[in-house]
Amino acid sequence: RGLKFRVELLDAQARGYVAENHGTPLRLPDLGPIGSNGLANPRDFLTPVAHYEDLRQPTTLVQKFLGELWACELDHSPLNVVAWHGNNVPYKYDLGRFNTLGTVSFDHPDPSIFTVLTSPTSVHGLANLDFVIFPPRWMVAE
């Protein structure tokens, strides 16, 4: 929310995920019976170092407001960030660092053992949005 970012394609093709979340910000799920060493670990989320960009070049700024996309031309870079304050910062996470858990007989323990991030609601066990991964795993029970 309210974060400006730039997309630079390093190759001819790129892929990623986009989700519009109107609920609480995404966070790590409560681990419950999993304990403290499962799923995604906070230390694996990487945040950038703030860098002031003082570029004078034409830039198109695209922003969403009231369900519509709006664009305006700027004569400078909007990425003139000196520092972040608080915890609303962009981050990235390598899905290869996700700690997939054990065997499942007929149902998954709550939270889902595949949940990377969740946007919880006021109703316990009901999420506004879950970001999940189904990585390869070693099925030790087979």
Would you please indicate which residues are annotated as catalytic (active-site) residues?
A: 108
The single residue listed with the structure tokens 């790129």 is 14
Which residue carries 């305006």 as its tokens?
A: 72
Rounded to whole angstroms, the Cα distance separating 6 from 78 reads 9
Q: How many helices (H) and strands (E) does the chain have?
A: 0, 6
Burial class (CB in 10 A: 0-12, 13-18, 19+), 115: buried
Amino acid at 10: L
In the numeric block, which tokens belong to residue 53? Answer: 């960009």
Length in residues, the chain: 142
For residue 49, what is the DSSP state? P
